[in-house]
Amino acid sequence: MTAATRVRKSLVAGAAVAMVGLGALAAEAPSASASYRDGYCEKGEFCYFYNSMDDSTFRGSGSDFVSSIANYGSDPSTCYTFRSPGAGQGPCIKNNAAAVWNRTSRSVRVYYNSNSSGAYVTVPPGGWGNLPINLQNQNASHKFL
């Protein structure tokens, strides 16, 4: 079993045992070379992608984070958006993300609802892949653990 297969299986398994999680919000500083919120997934960032992965390749525009976000927002003038060039550039990420890549040293939980509630999947450090079906295009917050 390849590392990629194990990570993808852990994403699916994590969603199967989805629970409500509580805890303090945490932040992680970006690496010295990372350009936070530019849409490119760099070391030290947790990233969403607009399209599902195909052949182990991320597709579509990206959105990158270095800290927990309790509510992505849905108003186009104030929400967190997909920023890099590609399909999906510009729209709010809330309920529009299909894949993730965790380039941080901490696990990150992606939640169905705002305020880190509802079904979730835990993405381990270095984890990447398509979000489970119950969270694909149905995601409203994330929390660094």
In this prediction, residues 64-68 reach a mean pLDDT of: 96
pLDDT of residue 30: 42
Topology of 3-144 in CATH? Gamma-B Crystallin; domain 1 (2.60.20)
Per-domain residue ranges of the chain: 3-144
- pTM score, whole prediction: 0.75
Q: Which band of pLDDT confidence, cut at 50, 70 and 90, is reported for residue 94?
A: very high
Q: What are the tens digits of pLDDT across the range 25-35?
A: 233 344 445 56
Burial class (CB in 10 A: 0-12, 13-18, 19+), 41: buried
- Which of 54, 53, 51, 65 has the alpha carbon at shortest distance from 103? 65
DSSP E strands, the chain: 46-54, 57-65, 99-102, 108-113, 117-123, 128-130, 141-144
Which two structure tokens, joined as six digits, stand for 51?
């399209």
Strands 141-144 and 117-123, bridge-based pairing: unpaired
